[in-house]
Amino acid sequence: MTSRHPWSRRLLWGLLALALLALLAWALRPAPVPVSVARVTAGPFVDAVIEEGRTRLRDTWNVSVPIAGYLQRVMLEVGDEVEQGQTLFRLEPSPAPALDPRSRLQAEDALQAAEARLRAARANLETARAERRFADAEYDRYRQLHQRNLVSTADLEQRQSQRDRQRSIESAATSSVEAARFEVESARAVLAVASGQRGDIEHPELEVRAPIAGTVLTRYRCCEGSVAAGEPILELGSLADLEIQVDLLSMDAVRVRPGMAVRITGWGGEPLAGQVRRIEPAGYTRVSALGVDEQRVPVIIDFAEDADPAALGLGSGFRVDAEFRVWEADEVLQLPTSALFRADGDWAVFTLDDGRARQVPVTPGRRSGLTTQLLDGLEAGELVITHPGERVDDGVRVRVEE
């Protein structure tokens, strides 16, 4: 009995030491890495390009002033409907400029001189009329004497010549009176404007009419005043010709084709249908919000025939979201794009296998936002780890977070 007791105690202490070592190893082992997972699914898939756009009018008309003049107040406001041929605004002749004191004194002197010439012309006219009446009477007397053979024919012809000459002098005096009267009126007109303001007299007006039936989009000038030739006053357009311009990245624009269906959202109502009409052949450089140079290509979209954007409240310059459906199918195997990563130049994912991460090579296809088409490597229903961090590796224990 005494010989067995030391061996039993040693065995007991050995087992106890092994248990402590195992407990210490278990306590020091790495904790499972917390991860989030998603399931590989099969369902409808749409490869789409989504970009912000702006509505615009295909054609607009800028109505400008044809000649320099004085613009009357424009009564039309933005949003008013106009008919073709309707008067948009009226123009008057420009008022004369104001006179400085020196010019005014000179104009007053010119008026007095013109009035004096008018009086002199009228006096000359009265003299010419008297001379003409005397010449007429002399001719009549000589004609009667000639009929009785009391004067010669030469004397009669001389009196006739004097009569004709007096009539011409009277006609010239009459013209001189008219010219002098016009000079007086011109001098008075110069003095009539002292401050550059329009008078109460009526002026001829030029009416500028609408070239189309449409809506007033912009009113550049509303108040009356002097305007120069070519100055724009109104911008007109027809909301029935509303279209959308979307500036796509050049790498996305090459995937779009004329006639492609477009889903229009983000305008404040139910989604609308549209269609690509034109892809412009020239792009341009635009700096993004992050300061990166981007090559953009304008793409023009028409609304569907059954859509009436004007009746829905859309106008020119409204913001919309355009979704270009490049490719779509009903049953497509897909997974979150965040689960994909590069491994030795190929694509791979981490699957969840009995609490451990397993690296599996896959073949992705098309991408649509946060979802990617899966061509090979997994089956529907399998769990994949999304956003795998640096701690996740093949065989590492993981814990799924709620």
Q: State which amino acid sits at residue 312.
A: L
Which tokens in the block code for residue 266? Answer: 């983000």
Nearest-angstrom CA–CA distance, 86 and 73: 16
Q: Are 383 and 351 in contact (CB under 8 A)?
A: yes
Which tokens in the block code for residue 158? Answer: 């001389």
Angle CA 62–229–207, to nearest 5: 70
Q: Are 377 and 56 in contact (CB under 8 A)?
A: no
pLDDT tens for the chain, 402 residues long, are: 445 566 777 777 777 777 777 776 665 566 788 888 899 999 999 888 899 999 999 989 999 999 888 898 999 999 899 999 999 999 988 776 666 777 778 878 888 888 899 899 899 989 988 998 988 888 888 888 888 888 888 888 888 888 889 888 989 989 988 998 988 888 887 776 554 555 555 667 889 999 999 999 999 998 888 899 999 999 999 888 899 999 999 999 999 999 999 999 999 889 999 999 999 999 999 988 888 899 999 999 999 988 888 888 898 899 999 999 888 888 999 999 999 999 888 999 999 888 888 999 999 998 887 899 999 989 998 999 998 888 888 888 888 876
Which DSSP symbol is given to 397? B
Find how far residue 387's CA is from the centre of its chain.
Answer: 43
End-to-end CA distance of the chain: 60
Burial bucket for residue 160 (CB in 10 Å: 0-12, 13-18, 19+): middle
Beta strands 371-376; 319-336: pairing state: antiparallel
Spell out the residues 6+ positions from residue 129 whose beta carbon is closer than 8 angstroms to its own: 170, 173
> What is the 3-state secondary structure of 269-308?
CCCEEEEEEEECCCCEEEECCCCCEEEEEEEEEEECCCCC
> What integer pLDDT is reported at residue 2 of this predicted model?
46
> What integer pLDDT is reported at residue 301 of this predicted model?
95
Which tokens in the block code for residue 269? Answer: 């109502």
| DSSP class per residue in 171-193 | HHHHHHHHHHHHHHHHHHHHHH-
> What integer pLDDT is reported at residue 313 of this predicted model?
87
Q: State which amino acid sits at residue 152.
A: S
> What integer pLDDT is reported at residue 272 of this predicted model?
93
DSSP 3-state of 235: strand
Handedness of CA 300, 305, 307, 311 (dihedral sign): positive
Q: Are 332 and 371 in contact (CB under 8 A)?
A: no
Question: Within 13 Å of residue 264, how many CA atoms lie on the same side as its CB?
Answer: 27
Distances in Å between the Cα of 330 and the Cα atoms of 23, 119, 381 are 54, 103, 17
> What integer pLDDT is reported at residue 225 of this predicted model?
86
Find how far residue 278's CA is from the centre of its chain.
Answer: 18
- Residue appearing with tokens 């009329």: 129
| DSSP class per residue in 195-213 | SS---SS----EEEE-SSS
Sheet holding 225-227, edge to edge: 206-209, 87-92, 69-71, 225-227
Nearest-angstrom CA–CA distance, 25 and 229: 94
Helix H or strand E segment including 224: none
Kindly report the pTM of this predicted structure: 0.60
Distances in Å between the Cα of 91 and the Cα atoms of 5, 30, 189, 222, 228 are 129, 89, 21, 13, 11
- Residue appearing with tokens 């002399």: 138
Nearest-angstrom CA–CA distance, 339 and 255: 25
Angle CA 191–193–199, to nearest 5: 130
